[in-house]
Amino acid sequence: MTGGGAVGSGGTVAFGGDVATYYAAYRRGYPEALLDRVGAALGLSAVDGTVLDLGCGTGQLALPMAHRARAVIGMDPEPAMLRLAAEAGARQGLANVTWVLGADRDVPALGALLDGPRPLAATVIGTALHWMRPAELFPVLRALTRPGGGVAVLSGGAPLWLHGTDWSRALRAFLEDHFGRELRATCGTDDADLARYRREFADAGFASATLLEHAYEDLLTFDRLVGGLWSAFPPDALPAPGDRPAFAARLRAALPPGDRFAEPVRVTALVATVGPAER
Ligand SMILES: C[S@@+](CC[C@H](N)C(=O)[O-])C[C@H]1O[C@@H](n2cnc3c(N)ncnc32)[C@H](O)[C@@H]1O
């Protein structure tokens, strides 16, 4: 549901256990119309090319990209996320997605495994680049990507607790009290993050970087809000299953009245391409 990474994690990567289950159940995917534009910008077609989804989580991008490429590699360092992604792919009957356990530092080895020069049509990275080291990753991806292809960095919008709405401010206050510290990390979703990624693409030699956007409002039930929130908790901070109803009741009491919470969602895709001069 929420766009960002783990709340209160102090920078530790953690998406295992029940967090992965909440992630699969409550994180929204990306608008099909935006994915069509990303596919067009990267020169993708359903009949050719391999797309890498790095930090694929439970498949929010890998699964829809499977209809826009010949083959997709979903890669993630968290086994629980990868298992749920693979289960979702099997439920959808997808036969062109391969699931690989690995992180950004493993991309050079993946490149060695794939046959031929520039074996990738594209790489997509959804709400995950803030866990990686772009200055090291982007040159590796550029060298693996065919001319006209590229890398798309997608974000599903700001974290739930960082919107400018009354309920989001109340949520942030509740969470800051719960974790005992300020929550400021934008998890790769704001304009300063995008400007930094743009510079890192340019430094890595990508030909151009274009920002595609899709904004809309989502009306969340309280159940979706809590599920989305728990999908962003580090596993060791998630309340024990028996304590979750009391946590939810305290949160409900801390939020403004009403049974719907309007979330302004700004989905972005920064698409960087590999120029034809490298052909
Ligand atoms: C917020 S989730 C995003 C999942 C999905 N791509 C999406 O768009 O919803 C971040 C994912 O990045 C993965 N991740 C964390 N560190 C990573 C790294 N160094 N390299 C690749 N993936 C990483 C996590 O395991 C997690 O599944």
pLDDT single digits (tens) 34-89: 999 999 999 999 999 999 999 999 999 999 999 999 999 999 999 999 999 999 99
| pLDDT higher than threshold 60 for residue 3 | no
Residue 42 Cα, ligand 1 centroid: separation in angstroms?
A: 21
How much is the pLDDT for 2? 44
How much is the pLDDT for 10? 40
How far apart are the C-alpha atoms of 209 and 276, rounded to whole Å? 14
| C-beta contacts of 28-32 below 8 A and 24+ residues apart | 28/1, 28/60, 28/156, 28/218, 28/265, 29/60, 29/61, 29/63, 29/64, 30/60, 30/61, 30/64, 30/126, 30/154, 30/156, 30/267, 30/269, 31/214, 31/216, 31/267, 32/64
Q: Full-prediction pTM beyond 0.85?
A: yes
| pLDDT higher than threshold 50 for residue 8 | no
Choose the residue to mutate in 13, 19, 54, 82 for probing ligand 1, maximizing ligand atoms within 8 Å of C-beta: 13
Kindly report, residue by residue over 85-102, the tens digit of the pLDDT: 999 999 999 999 999 999
Kindly report, residue by residue over 121-163, the tens digit of the pLDDT: 999 999 999 999 999 999 999 999 999 999 999 999 999 999 9
| Sequence-ordered list of residues with C-beta below 8 angstroms from that of 99, at least 6 positions apart, any chain | 56, 73, 74, 75, 82, 85, 86, 89
Burial of 177: CB neighbours in 10 Å, binned 0-12, 13-18, 19+: exposed
Q: Which of 147-156, 207-216, 221-230, 233-242 has the lowest mean pLDDT?
A: 233-242
Nearest ligand 1 atom to alpha carbon 154: 8
Q: Which domains does the chain have, with CATH numbers?
A: 17-274 (3.40.50.150)
Mean pLDDT score of the chain: 92
How much is the pLDDT for 161? 95
Burial of 272: CB neighbours in 10 Å, binned 0-12, 13-18, 19+: buried
Residue 127 Cα, ligand 1 centroid: separation in angstroms?
A: 7
Residue 153 Cα, ligand 1 centroid: separation in angstroms?
A: 12
Q: Is the CB of 61 under 6 A from ligand 1?
A: yes
Confidence tier at 116 by pLDDT (50, 70, 90): confident
Residue spans of beta strands (DSSP E) within the chain: 50-54, 71-76, 97-101, 120-126, 145-155, 208-220, 261-273
Residue 44 Cα, ligand 1 centroid: separation in angstroms?
A: 23
Question: What percent of the chain lies above the pLDDT cut of 90?
Answer: 86
